[in-house]
Amino acid sequence: MSVHIAAKKGEIAKTVLQPGDPRRARYIAENFLEEVKLVSETRSILYFTGLYKGKEISVGASGMGVPSIGIYSYELFTEFDVDTIIRIGTCGAYTDELKVFDVLNVNNAASESTYAKYAWEIEEEILPPPGHIFSLLNKTAENRSLNLIPTTIHTSDIFYRKSQEIPEIAKKYNCSAVEMEAFALFANAQYLGKNAATLLTVSDVIPTGEFISADQRESALKPMIELALEAAMNI
């Protein structure tokens, strides 16, 4: 048992799907997995383990932001011997070339965050997804005729800011969208020699103000969830 995850050794699978929201973790567990067991609910951050088409998969929340996913992904990798984490989340598009409901496969996460530097002495401000899962997701999407968009995104520590301009680092790396966790997940996986990937569904388009309503969210995220689960079958 780790500091923040109360599961026992062996109760978390080698592959974990990691949404930010605990309620989304419950939704995935209850609607996509069989023989589901709640293995941790410390601080109301829920972790479940079950079977998807006979393969053991865990799903659990990361919370919001770099510090939170930094903690949870690190403990999964080190305390529970997890090999692969696939983050499944939402993002805001910086460009109207993206549309709501688009599914993105992050090929680089750029960030102003000091997390990688001060945690692991990783100096780069842009990180790729470590391991082979990025390519596996692309192949799985192709087999399912799903339009999956590989792209560079901005991982920001800031949700509200004074300036409405696109941050300089996002301009520097031509980031198409913004979220708050991928950079830390990639840093942890790089340092520990693990596999990580991030799938994102575009929930709002910043230039146009278009967004997915609360009522649409569950159905909107279904293609991304199913893609992650199908890819997990081949890990």
3-state secondary structure of 213: coil
157 classed as catalytic: no
Catalytic position from the list 21, 83, 204, 215: 204
Residue 188: partners with Cβ closer than 8 Å, 6 or more residues away? 70, 73, 74, 77, 119, 120, 194, 196
CA distances from 70 to 82, 113, 116, 146, 214 (A): 14, 12, 10, 30, 27
CA distance 99 to 9: 42
β-pair partners for 87: 18, 198
Residues with catalytic roles: 204
